[in-house]
A and B are shown apart, each in its own frame.
Chain A
Amino acid sequence: MIFQDYVFYALAAILLVAGLRVITARNPVHAALFLVLAFFTAAGIWLLLEAEFLAITLVLVYVGAVMVLFLFVVMMLDINLDKLREGFWDYAPLAGFVGVVMALEMASIVGVRHFGVNVTGTPEPHPVNYSNTAELGRQLYTDYVLPFELASVVLLVAIVAAIALTMRRRKDSKYIDPAEQVKVKRADRIRMVSMPAEKEMPENGEGEQA
């Protein structure tokens, strides 16, 4: 084994433990932090694979932005864990069975026998002046321009949907439109009411005296 192998196994072990803890941790904040750890170690593995740009993006975008936001939300919400876990044991046997079967099936395929080095061949390391970022950019804007544009449309739909589902104009809002105020005419505010003139009634006490 060379040095990279040791690094890989160390990172992979941490990744697996972190991933397991994400779904087993009782405290949702801990679960989110374990997810951060999982992202970090995954980025490390990507670095080993010479995907430097993707590794850095994973840390910047997921750890830096998405997970911080996620932690905020988790901390803001009052999540009742006992209620979430209700009925867990009713479904556990069936879910466990399906899960184990799927895991076994996948383990029987995703292994050395089908994806080992002697099947796929050892990947050649890139030359020293190879730029991962430049290559990704070139691919995205030439060969993969259609899916790239489609991804942007998907993001646009996500924005539209998020705004359409959450933005509400409050009924009791006291907001005043300045333009409306400037344009206002006397007639909009004052209503002239023509009333018959009323005779002043003498007050009761005085009437009695008089």
Chain B
Amino acid sequence: MSTATLTRPWHDRKRYLWLLGILAMLLPLIGGALVDATGWSLFWWSTPLFIYLVVPALDALVGEDRNNPPESAVPALEQDRYYRWAVYAAVPMEYVSLIWGAWVAATASLAWWEYLGLAISVGMVTGISIAVAHELGHKTDPFEQWLAKIALAPTGYGHFFSEHNRGHHVRVATPEDPASSRYGESFYAFLPRTILGGIRSGWAIEKARMARRGLPTWHWRNDVLNAWIMTPLLFAGLVAWLGWMALPFLLIQGIYGFSLLEVVNYLEHYGLCRKKLPSGRYERCQPTHSWNSNHVFSNVFLYGLERHSDHHANPLRGYEALRHFDDSPQLPNGYAGMVLLAYCPPLWFAVMNPRVRAHYRGDLRQANVAPRLRAQLQTAARAA
């Protein structure tokens, strides 16, 4: 008799829950249907209301899942194509929301607050789609890489494809990374730094890569250019079809969408820092260099992105196999709740600064500290 008949085989209890990520792409259409059914304009805002009120509440109520798949189950999990298709399917649904939204914006003669609600709702979808693009962009399969760029086109964030893997993952949790926030840095100080720094870094990475291949920077194989070009083509196509009334909608949803990615960047590595080795290199990225969240509800909507500690330490691991580590720092809520805190810096500092200090046992010299505060810390250390 083999041991398999004695022990029950492991089952992935989240297997079908991941399909909720596809459904999330259609939230604005559900809002539109509710407006039709009730006549209440408020439902144009149902997507942000759901994400910012219902999701944090359910994260608090449903709580965390600290279980990990057994290592013996991981190879089969990672080879199961089902999990890949559960991600692929989100991209066409993102476009259903975007195109439907543009069509409503251009044809439904909405009041300005309804128009804005629709654009923000679709922006949440295209913003969450950056998490989908993230999952796809980490793979080396050309189909997945193209799908990642297509998922990024509505937000104009095509450079994320190059910058994330070759920039952010290399410099994560160091002062050199534009996409890692610093202790004492508010979201509003971080936002321009990460937007400009990300564009600059993505461009430099592709310029160097093209030079290494003996190609000019301005070439269709430049991954920043070929991803960026999709955005004006997509927007021009929709405006040609629907008229100029669609353009403000497209711009608002795009800007809101990428700002949602950036606020998530803000909370993923806040204050955390890798040590510099005597050789001048930084230590290898460990699970302790990313904030982790095991909150079940928001994790299934984001393809496990919140298990970020394992993702950065093992970037090729599929979302379905990401693990919890006891020694990685933990966020007190899922990403949706933490985003709300980040929008309100005094609250964010009140909740997160003590956690960073506790993580480094009070020694902030080990943290990634905003330059302004670093000078104060040094003065205080000299005075002591």
Asked if A pairs with B, the answer is: no
Contact surface of B with A, Cβ cutoff 8 Å: none
